[in-house]
Amino acid sequence: MSAVDLQRRQFLSSSAKAGGLLLSVQLLGAQHLMAKSGSDAVFSPGLFVAIDASGKVTVTCHRSEMGQHIHTAVAQIVADELEADWAKVVVAQGLGDPKYGDQNTDGSRSVRRNLTRLRQAGATARLMLRQAAAATWEVPVEEISAENHQLSHAGSGRSADYGEMVAAAAQLEVPDADTVPLKQRKDWRYIGTAVNNVDLQTMLAGTAVYGHDVQLPGMQVAVIARPPVLFGTVKSLDDSAALAVAGVSKVVRLPALTAPAAFKALGGVAVIAKNTWAAMRGRDALKIEWEHGANASYSSKAFREAMLEGVRKPGEATRTQGDVDAALAAASQQVSAEYTVPHLSQAPMETPAATATVSADAAEIWACTQTPQATRGMVAQALGMPPEQVSVNVTLLGGGFGRKSKPDFSVEAALLAREVGAPVKVIWTREDDIRNGYYHTVSAQRIEAGLDADGKVTSWLHRTAFPPIPSTFDPSQKLPSIGELRLGFSDNPFEIANMRLERVAADAHVRIGWLRAVANVYHAFAIQSFAHELAVAAKRDPKDFLLDLIGSSRHIDLGKLGVEYDNYGDSIETYPIDTGRLANVVRAVARRSDWDRKRADGRFLGIAAHRSFLSYVATVVEVTVDDKGQWRIPQVHVAIDAGTVVNLDSVRQQCEGGSIYGLSCAIGQITATDGVIDQGNFDTYTVARMAQAPGAIDVHIVDSTYAPAGVGEPPTPPFAPALANALFEATGKRFRDLPIPLTIKS
Amino acid sequence: MKLSVNGKAVDYDGDPQMPILWFLRDELQLTGTKFGCGRALCGACTVHLDGQAVRACVIPMAAAADKAITTIEGIPSEHSLKLAWVKHNVPQCGYCQSGQIMQAADLLQRTPKPNDAEIEQAMTGNICRCGTYTRIRDAIKTAAESSS
Ligand code: FES
Ligand code: FES
């Protein structure tokens, strides 16, 4: 048995021991699981489902599990159409392989892009089991029913468990998926219900395997000193003290990184040791003098001022309706405001970690990655191997939030494993994660609006400036990209006759990357804060004013306006920008929060609503502020319309967690001085703790038969503006520059 | 030195300054205890040392000599907290949850019927980036009620 097989066997037995679980998720691919099922007959009519002679159903999940419970959702979908007994379903994690199609787990699209395909996978298996029973019993297939893991024929009274027909079904030709009948929505058994997370028991037992938990025989651990400034290089290195640390076996210089950063390793000096502690101590003992390079000029404070200067001047228009300048000049009241949002770090609870083994003609990676195929490609490129020689195992992810969409850490592990000639696990410390990240970009925005004598908004001019994500892949990119503007900027839902949206260039000095909800975070913050500022200027109720801004129920046709817009990669016919649905969640959250009731007890409400990832979310945040200026959030209400949803409790969890992530976005910041990140750990990078967290989060899921939309990201963007709006109501202070301090000085 | 982990006697003769986190994870392969910050700032590594919650990332092995360590693997699945965690379907990614449960177990030992303020005070050192705080609070209350 190879080391790897041994490892897999351990995963299998440890989760089996957890006991009492209906479903268990393994780290291994479906093929390996099949090989151990103890029976020759396995019926596997496609990529996603396999049934063995005992009746056990293995559903393969090709997307990464990072807390959004995609393992559970995929199993629900397949098991539903298969009419499987939920107790007989297990989930296997798919390896990184193009045969699955897109595996990049980001953009809140795992369910919306796979619902039909996974339903077909379950339905195909079910149909073939029926065909097998029909052939075996010599009766017409139409007379065979397949329900809850049982095949039966009413006429003859015969019945069989799915497992009994596996051998016969495996002989049949797999029908074309598009010809297989799917269930009626009303007959769904698991889809649309609340099912507990299938990984729950192994998580509670402490046996769930994350990226940090991979252990291979003979494995060494690496901790890396990376350049403090992007594209910095090692000027001099003295590793004698590091090599003297007990347990340290080697010090390896990684190749210096040159632009573009892309997904490449950052460079620096790696300390290889027999365990994590020795590697960390070895790194502490390195004496490195760095050549910082051009990015040492980066100071985020000065940069913010420069960006604000930028948005005070005309930019490049990306959407124009009517004549904004004339309407602004004619307005009876003009309002303008500027908003800034700092860099943020995704800071998943589990820092990046990857383990690699490399031989002359093969490499294998185990990593907490959101993107196994890009990992495979980047590792292959770094090692000079064809991708077919690289296999990528996806562990559970202790959170991702976009950080683990970048395979740089797997590239590091692969390079080091080759250098050392043994399996190597690269561990990022929290300081590494905070100081050497792919940051949420830094942004400045300015909005000007004009109101007529009735307090109606007649003009809206919005400028946005931020170093764009494409700069990470091509340093000449300085203009906010279409792909980021579409995130809550170009798709502005307000019904205003004169509107102009402009973009303004900004240089990147750090690696810029995705963070949960991406540009929606700062665009929603500015737009939804400003909507509240306008309501105040017009002396109107903020919720009523927001509904007026959204205006009539309509589908916004950006194409007709000449705006480049890709609608999150999905069809605008299936997923229109539907202002009626946006207004509907506003009204729903107002009802849930009893918005119109006057709060007597020092509680104040703020509201915000935003469409992102094709879903509609409205949030009401309730705050209290004590006499020391400390604020609390007794309650939050969230209304979401995500179209068809698979797991009600997962959607609730994402609304709860997405709100708290939005809270963290409102109170944390990453800054840089001389190109070096100022924060390093949770003492300096503020994230929401239980003391800041809402006392309760009430979630209303709109019952919807629309096509499935995103869930993991949409709850985050409305939170910060709803909080800022509530704090304004409570204190009269307007927070236009994040972060919001935890204690408000009067 | 000798110590016990989840009721089993173990020996250790390595660096006495090594935090117990790495002994548990790298040497005993008890990987249920997690690394989150390494500086007692997040609670992901919480274990019990002679019955008290400690941050395993900063407690050196020297401090564990002749003592008993309990980790998440040593808490039975029918423990009232684990049952409550199932009832409320608490974990999202799950990574912080072993630390949360070990911290909550310590709280309930000292304060069997904690109020909201006591829960918050005990638990605010444990970060959950997935934001499961409201469910953690509810699950602790459920566990406290069930063990009365
Ligand atoms: S890892 Fe020990 S408290 Fe964070
Ligand atoms: S459940 Fe993911 S960090 Fe807590």
Q: What is the pTM of this model?
A: 0.93
What is the predicted pLDDT for the residue at A107? Answer: 74
Residue A371's SS3 state is: coil
- Does ligand 2 lie within 6 Å of residue B92's CB atom? yes
Cα B145 from Cα A444, distance rounded (Å): 50
Burial class (CB in 10 A: 0-12, 13-18, 19+), A179: exposed
SS3 content of chain B, % helix, strand, coil (to 5): 40, 15, 45
Ligand 2 atom nearest residue B94's Cα: 1
The pLDDT value given to residue A741: 97
Rounded (to 5) percent helix, strand, coil in chain A: 35, 25, 45
Name the percent of chain A lying above pLDDT 70.
Answer: 95
Tell me if B73 and A660 make a contact (CB, 8 A cut-off): no
Asked if A681 lies within 8 A of B39 by C-beta distance, the reply is yes
Domain boundaries, chain A: 3-205, 211-294+352-427, 300-344+438-731
What residues contact residue A15 under an 8 Å CB cut-off, 6+ apart? Answer: A21, A24, A25, A26, A201, A202, A207
The confidence score (pLDDT) of residue A461 equals 98
Categorize the per-residue pLDDT at A23 as very low, low, confident or very high, splitting at 50, 70 and 90: very low
Give the gap in angstroms from C-alpha B83 to the nearest C-alpha of chain A: 10
Handedness of CA A569, A570, A571, A572 (dihedral sign): negative
Report whether pLDDT(A259) > 80. Answer: yes
Domain A211-294+352-427 has CATH 3.30.365.10: yes
Ligand 2: atom nearest CA of B93 is: 2
- Whether residue A14 is predicted with pLDDT greater than 50 in this model: the reply is no
Cβ neighbours, 10 Å, residue A158: 14
Tell me how far apart the alpha carbons of residues A469 and A262 are, in angstroms, rounded to a whole number. 10
Quote the tokens at residue A478.
């300085």
Taking the domain A300-344+438-731, which CATH number applies? 3.30.365.10
Nearest ligand, CA A347: 2
Mean pLDDT of chain A: 92
Angle in degrees, CA A723, B141, A595, rounded to 5: 30
Closest ligand to C-alpha of residue A199 is 2
Torsion of CA B97, B103, B104, B110, to 10 degrees: 170
Nearest CA in chain A to B35: A350
pLDDT of residue A40: 65
Residue A163 contacts residue A147 (beta carbons within 8 Å): no
Q: How far is CA A575 from CA A218, A477, A486, B65, in A?
A: 51, 30, 14, 62
With b meaning 16 or more CB within 10 Å and e meaning fewer, what string describes B76-115?
A: eeebbbbbbbbebbbbbbbbbbbbbbbbbbbbbeeeeebe
φ and ψ of A57, to 5 deg: -105, 125
Residue B25 CB less than 6 A away from ligand 1: no
Q: Is B125 in the pocket of ligand 1 (CB under 6 A)?
A: no
CB A117 within 8 A of CB A60: no
- Is the Cα torsion angle A374, A375, A376, A377 positive or negative in sign? positive
Q: Which of B129, B133, B134, B136 to mutate to test the pocket of ligand 2 (most atoms within 8 A of CB)?
A: B129
Q: What is the pLDDT at residue A466?
A: 98
Residue A212 touches chain B, beta carbons under 8 Å: yes
Q: Which of A89-93, A242-246, A410-414 has the lowest mean pLDDT?
A: A89-93
Question: What average pLDDT does range A360-384 have in this prediction?
Answer: 95
Hey, is B106 helix, strand or coil? helix
Contact A206 B41 (CB under 8 A): no
Domains and CATH numbers, chain B: 2-74 (3.10.20.30), 80-146 (1.10.150.120)
Q: What is the pLDDT of residue B140?
A: 98
- Give the C-alpha distances (Å, rounded to integers) separating B54 from A72, A404, B126: 33, 29, 12
Distance of residue B53 Cα from the nearest chain A Cα, in angstroms:
17
In chain A, which residues have their Cβ closer than 8 Å to the Cβ of B35?
212, 276, 351, 427
Amino acid A490: pLDDT: 97
Amino acid in position A86: W
d(CA A94, CA A440): 29
Asked if A659 lies within 8 A of B131 by C-beta distance, the reply is yes
- Coil, strand, or helix at residue A152? strand
Q: Which residues of A touch B13 (CB under 8 A)?
A: none
Nearest to A498 by CA among A447, A527, A459, A534: A459
Residue A111 has pLDDT above 90, yes or no: no
Distance CA B7, CA B3 (A): 9
A221 touches chain B (CB under 8 A): yes
- DSSP type of residue A598: P
Cα separation of the two ends of chain B: 39
Residues present in chain B in total: 148
pLDDT of residue A38: 43
Residue A433 CA to ligand 1 centre (angstroms)? 14
Ligand number with the minimum distance to the CA of B24: 1
Q: Which amino acid is at A149?
A: H
- Ligand 1 centroid – CA A351 distance (Å): 12
Residue range A710-717: mean pLDDT, rounded: 95
Nearest alpha carbon to residue A37 among A163, A160, A121, A122: A163
Q: With beta carbons under 8 A apart, name residues in chain A contacting B98.
A: 203, 206
A15-42 burial string, b = 16+ CB within 10 Å, else e? beebeebebbbbbbbbebbbeebeeebb
- Among residues A423, A484, A436, which one has the least CA distance to residue A229? A436
A614-626 per-position pLDDT tens digit: 999 999 999 999 9
Integer Cα distance of A219 and A349 in angstroms? 24
A688 contacts chain B (CB < 8 A): yes
For residue B71, the chain A residues in CB contact (below 8 A) are 206
Query: CB under 8 Å to B92, separation ≥6 — which residues?
Result: A67, A68, A69, A197, A399, A653, A657, B128, B130, B131, B132
How crowded is residue A413: how many other Cβ atoms within 10 Å of its Cβ? 32
Over range A78-104, report the average pLDDT: 89
**A 400-419 residues inside an 8 A Cβ radius of B:** 400-401
Query: Judging by DSSP bridges, how do beta strands B2-5 and B68-70 pair with one another?
Result: parallel
CA distance B23 to B15: 10
> Would you place residue A319 in the very low, low, confident or very high pLDDT band (cuts 50, 70, 90)?
very high
Q: Bigger pLDDT: A102 or A515?
A: A515
Report the distance separating Cα A450 and Cα B5, nearest Å.
69
- What is the least distance, in Å, from the CA of B148 to any CA of chain A? 23
* Cα B74 from Cα B82, distance rounded (Å): 12
State residue A599's pLDDT score: 81
Helix axes A648-667, A719-731, angle to 10 degrees: 60
Q: Please report which confidence band the pLDDT of residue A109 belongs to, taking 50, 70 and 90 as the band edges.
A: confident
Put simply, whether A653 touches B (Cβ < 8 Å) is yes
**pLDDT band per the 50, 70, 90 thresholds, residue A113:** confident
**Residue numbers in B near A18 (CB within 8 A):** 77
Substitution target in A198, A204, A283, A667 with the highest count of B β-carbons within 10 Å is A204
Name which of A65, A209, A349 is nearest B96 (Cβ-Cβ).
Answer: A349
User: Is the CB of B93 inside a 6 Å radius of any atom of ligand 2?
Assistant: yes
Q: Spell out where A328-428 has E strands.
A: 333-341, 353-358, 363-367, 390-394, 424-427
Residue A28 reports pLDDT greater than 60: no
In sequence order, which ranges of chain B are alpha helices (DSSP H)?
20-22, 80-87, 97-110, 116-123, 133-146
What does the DSSP 8-state code read for residue A188? -
User: A32 pLDDT exceeds 60?
Assistant: no
> Which bound ligand lies closest to the C-alpha atom of B126?
1
Atom of ligand 1 nearest to the CA of B38: 1
Contact at 8 Å (CB) between A76 and A83?
no
> Which of B95, B103, B138 has the most A C-beta neighbours within 10 Å, making it the best mutation to test the interface with A?
B95
Q: Does residue A396 belong to the interface with chain B, where contact is any CB pair within 8 Å? A: yes
Residue type, A136: T
Q: Is A349 on the interface with B (CB under 8 A)?
A: yes
On chain B, the residues whose CB falls within 8 A of the CB of A68 are 92
Report how far residue A175's alpha carbon sits from residue A128's, in angstroms, rounded to the nearest whole number.
8
Reported as a single tens digit per residue, the pLDDT across A146-205 is 999 999 999 999 999 999 999 999 999 999 988 999 999 999 999 988 989 999 999 999
If you measure CA to CA, which chain A residue comes closest to B29? A215
Q: Which two tokens stand for residue A581?
A: 């649905």
Q: In ligand 1, which atom is closest to the CA atom of B57?
A: 2
Whole-number pLDDT of residue A26: 35
Tokens 């502690």, residue? A277
Residue A118, classed as helix, strand or coil, is helix
Distance from CA of B37 to the nearest CA of A (A): 5
Amino acid, res. A171: Q
Nearest protein CA to atom 3 of ligand 2, as residue: B128
Bridge partners of residue A500, in order along the sequence: A320, A461
- Nearest chain A residue to B39 by CA distance is A681
Task: Tell me if A129 sits within 8 A of A120, measured CB to CB.
Answer: no
pLDDT at A678 over 60: yes
Q: At what angle do helices A542-550 and A520-537 cross, to 10 degrees?
A: 110
Residue pair A489/A462 in contact by the 8 Å Cβ criterion: yes
Is A3-205 in CATH node 3.30.365.10? yes
Task: Note whether A395 and A213 are within 8 A (CB).
Answer: yes
Residue A218 near chain B (CB below 8 Å): no
Residue A206 touches partner B, C-beta closer than 8 Å: yes
Residue A17 reports pLDDT greater than 80: no
Neighbouring residues of A429: CB distance < 8 A, sequence distance ≥ 6:
A223, A280, A351, B38
- Burial class, A174, CB count within 10 angstroms (exposed 0-12 / middle 13-18 / buried 19+): middle
Quick check: A348 and B128 CB within 8 A? no
Using a pLDDT cut of 90, give the percent of chain A over it: 86
B91 touches ligand 2 (CB under 6 Å): yes
Selected residue of B24, B98, B102, B129 to mutate for chain A interface (largest A Cβ count, 10 A): B129
Residues in chain A: 746
DSSP state, residue A361: S
Element spanning A633, H or E: strand A631-641
Task: Flag residues of chain B having pLDDT under 50.
Answer: none
